[in-house]
Each structure stands twice: as structure tokens, then as C-alpha cells.
Amino acid sequence: MTAIAQTTAAVLPPTTDAELEQLLAAAQTAAAPLAARRPAERAELLDALADALDAAADQLVPVAERETRLPEARLRGELKRTTFQLRLFGEVLRDGGYLDARIDHADADWPMGAPRPELRRVLAPLGPVVVFAASNFPFAFSVAGGDTASALAAGSPVLLKAHSGHPGLSRLTADVVVSALRDAGAPDGTFALIAGTAAGAAALRDPRVKAGAFTGSIPGGRALFDIASSRPEPIPFFGELGSNNPAFVTEAAAAERCAEIAEGFVSSFTLGAGQFCTKPGTLFVPADSGLVEALRDAALPPAAPLLNERIQSGYGEVLQGLQSNPRLEVLVQGAGPLADPPGPTLLRTTAADMLAEPHALQTECFGPTAVVVTYDDESQLPKLAETFEGQLTATIHGTDSCQVEALVEVLARKAGRVVWNQWPTGVSVTYAQQHGGPYPATTAVGSTSVGTAAMERFLRPIAYQGFPQHLLPEALREDNPLAVPRLMNGQREGGR
């Protein structure tokens, strides 16, 4: 048994059927009182949780270092991002605009040809959510990460299925979360940790669970998506599965800043040892631009350890498969490309070969490997872009005079975030962020797992027709006691 497996067995034994039943029952019991809390009261819970995580940093970070092999500075920065997004969701709750409150007063002369009834519409929590933690961001996409934060902000209890890659950290973080929520007055059952593949699948099948969220591989995410979709009551499943994140360099950009682009690309595809879901996995460059030579001569960073043995093994298997493809050749490679830790690898192919065998050459290689594709004419780029499946991101490096409208149109259809003259690694937590895209990037193309819009995944609209004031949610009452922004008879009404 490996050291990682021993740690998992010792710290996080699989959740039993009896334990899971207790946790599901508690989550169902917590759903109504949590949803009934005013938004500002839920914001206080998120602030308390952020404060508790910040206070526990010196206990959490060393455990994360041991289990993930990530450096302290990276982990502390990620924890800061995690607590920041909790507080940011609190700000969104206090504003109240996320409720999308709409009021149509009755109108006997409504011009559609029939009287308009009084209608009042607002978003409400879905109910208990199962969140499947990711391995590559042990804070930001794990126990107290974005899926948990957005679900709690929406007013939905969370059952968090821990990732086996960092079991001790998962348990310790969960203890902080449960204690902080309890001390802040959250209903019992607002958050719970579960462990084991069987327990996660069973929770997703349970009729008390109303949504699922996942970050991980295409096979694992698709299996869970199929469970959520095939239930007697199908539920939404928000899976982030896989992405190649292609980047395209125009002739003018290559001529203007060849060395800068080469350096930026190497830094981006090797950031975090290539274990970011937004890593640019394919770079298209003009054949005669000098970029191939600049990349061949670029200084590759030293080998860095991958997160765990499973990722190391999978990376080696995919890289060997790519290297054995006759359409690919090694452009430049660090020392020990298949070692632990692995040195970075850049592979090379042509536009013609990419068009001939796109699926194989675009295989996601989760680690420090990318493919450079040379093209002869920019007119090829839209056709090359069409060969990609759905993506989280797509990037263009160009100049203001470049005629890339057709390429932008294709990439906007293919990806959730299109980047101009920057690199896609590093996903800022903001109001306008979009981290999601067409399948297989995600299973729900209209959603994001990063940014304040992420909480929309765990809300559903309800319309009230003809109700007396005292039976309406506060956001829909005429006197607007929450002072939330509303759409009143089609006109935007200010909030606070």
C-alpha cells in the first residue's frame, strides 16, 4: 500500500451507509432554516468562516504541504483567495441583486390582448448540494472552495465529498468549517464531510440532494453526470471536466514580440507544474516567424513534483502516448521528462497533421507538457479552431490591426473565456469571471464555477401570482424591507 493510500485509510475511512443517512437527514433538516435566513445573515456566516480559515492558516498549510507537495507560498496564496471569495459572496448577499427580484403589478390594459395578473419572481435556494472536491487546488477548489462557498451563499447545505489526494487537510479544513458555522449560529447540517467513491455516488443518487458540483477528469465527471441525469428526479450537475485551452499567435504578433510570447507561454504551460485546468495545451505559431526557434531555446523551469502518485502515473501514460504518435516530435524537453518529478516537454506538429488527427493531438496532458503547431497562413486559423471541442479558455496573441474577426467568432463559440494578449492561467475571482464552457469543458454550458455568478447554479426561480403581502418573500414585498434592487414593471429600481 502506498504512503498516500495509508494516509487516506487512516484519516478518512469511507463514510458508511448509516453515517451517510444521518448526514443527508441533517442536511435536509437544515435546508429550510438556512434558506429562510436573510441574505445579510448568511453573509455573516461566510465572513465567520473566512475569519476561521485565516486564523487556522498555520495549522492548515503545513498539512497541505505534506499531502500535495505544493510550496508554502502557493498554498498561502490559495488560502487567501479562498477566504477572499467567501467574503466577496458575502458582499453580493448584502447587495441582494443576485435575487433578481421582479415585480409586475396587475394591468388590465396590458397590450398583449389580455389583462396582466400581478406576478412577483425571485430566486430561491435549490436545497442540499453534493460537492466533489478537486485535487489540484486543495483550498480554492476543495473543502471550503468555490463550489462550497457559492452553495452556502445561495442558501444550500453542502455535503462535501473529500478528495483522496489530501485527506488529512480535508478533515482538518472540514473541522474548521463545521466549528465556524456552528459558532456563527448556522443550522446543524449546514455542512458535512463525506469520504469514499461509493458514498459520493450514493449521496448524488439520494432524492434529498438537489444538485451536484464537480471538478476533475472527464471520465469521473461524466460518470457522475450520468448518475445525476438518470435519477427518477434528474438534478442539475455542474461538472468541470477537461480543457486544452488553445492559444493562437498571429504573424504580426510573432514579428513584434517573439521572445516575449515564447517566455510567456513557457511560464504559463509550466505554472503549477502544468496542473492548472486553464493551462494552454496547444500553441499555434507562424511557421517562419522564429517562434519555434525561440521556444526551442527558451529556458525551461526545473522539474517540479506533481500532486500525487495517481497524477504522476496518468501524466506519464498520456505523455508516452503523445510521444509515440508519428505526427508529433519533441521540440524541447527538460531532464527526466517521465521521472518523478518530471521535466517539462514541448512537442511539435504541423497544421496539416493537426487537421488530419485533431482528437489524438489535442489529448489533455495534465502536467508540464504542451504542443506547438506551425501554420503557413493565418487563413488556416479559423479552420484549426473549429477542430476543438468545448473549452474553458481560448487565447489570441495579435495586434490591433490583425484581421482575426473570424477566429474570434469561432473561439467565442468554443470557449467560455476568450483571452487577448494575455495567458489564461490564473482565474481571478471577480463579478464578471466566466469559468465554464461547452462540453466537455463543463456539463452545464450556462454556468461558471468561479466568480460571483457561480451561486446562480444553486438557485431556482419562483413566481408568486396574486399573493397578499404578508405571504410573500421579503424581497418581493411592496415596502422592500431588504432594500434589494428590483425590476418593477420593467423598470430597474435601485436598492441600497
- Residue 469 per-residue DSSP state: G
Report the distance separating Cα 308 and Cα 310, nearest Å: 6
Q: Determine whether 258 is an active site residue.
A: no
Identify the residue whose cell numbers are 469514499. 196
Which residues contact residue 87 at a Cβ distance below 8 angstroms, ignoring those fewer than 6 apart? Answer: 46, 47, 50
State the maximum Cα–Cα separation within the chain, in Å, rounded to a whole number. 77
Task: Report which of 53, 79, 84 is spatially closest to residue 177, judged by C-alpha positions.
Answer: 53
Measured CA to CA in angstroms, residue 24 lies from 15, 178, 318, 385 at distances of 12, 15, 38, 45
Contact by Cβ (8 Å): 447, 456: yes
- Outline where DSSP puts E strands in 57-133: 101-104, 119-125, 129-132
Task: Report which of 29, 39, 15, 42 is spatially closest to residue 127, judged by C-alpha positions.
Answer: 29
Contact by Cβ (8 Å): 14, 195: yes
Report the distance separating Cα 284 and Cα 286, nearest Å: 7
Q: Determine whether 329 is an active site residue.
A: no
Per the residue annotation, which of 240, 251, 364, 378 is the catalytic one?
A: 240
Show the cell assigned to 435.
Answer: 469559468
Which residues contact residue 488 at a Cβ distance below 8 angstroms, ignoring those fewer than 6 apart? Answer: 102, 103
Per the residue annotation, which of 67, 78, 251, 277 is the catalytic one?
A: 277
Task: Quote the distance between the C-alpha of residue 379 and its chain's center.
Answer: 33
Helix (H) or strand (E) holding 465: strand 459-465
Q: Is 129 helix (H, G, I), strand (E, B) or coil?
A: strand
Task: Quote the distance between the C-alpha of residue 407 and its chain's center.
Answer: 25
Which residues contact residue 211 at a Cβ distance below 8 angstroms, ignoring those fewer than 6 apart? Answer: 126, 127, 129, 130, 151, 156, 235, 236, 237, 238, 457, 458
Catalytic residue set: 240, 277
